Amino acid sequence: METRKDRFRRIVSRRTNEIIEKFRILGNCANKSSYEYTEEDVNKIFRAIEAELRNTKAKFSIRRKKFSL
């Protein structure tokens, strides 16, 4: 029987590798001989990625904010 930790490791390894591969594929869009883009385009892309990364990382945070007035 698979433990919760084993299941986590199996699933997170696969999903992390998928994300890394998508970043490699995204990197192919940097080829200026095939694509045209501006620095602002690139900034928008990475702001969106960084925001989603922060949101996902926060989900793993143990800290809970306590309510106070």
Does 18 map to a domain?
yes
CB 44 within 8 A of CB 38: no
Does 64 map to a domain?
no
Does 69 map to a domain?
no
Of 20, 64, 21, 27, the closest CA to residue 45 belongs to: 27
Does 41 map to a domain?
yes
Domains identified in the chain, total number: 1
Q: Which helix or strand (DSSP H or E) is residue 47 part of?
A: helix 39-59
pLDDT at 69 over 90: no
| Enclosing domain of residue 26 | 4-59
Mean pLDDT of the chain: 94
pLDDT at 29 over 90: yes
- Please name the residues in contact with 35: beta carbons below 8 A apart, sequence gap of 6 or more: 29
Scanning the structure block, which residue is given the tokens 């997170």?
A: 12
pLDDT at residue 65, as a whole number: 73
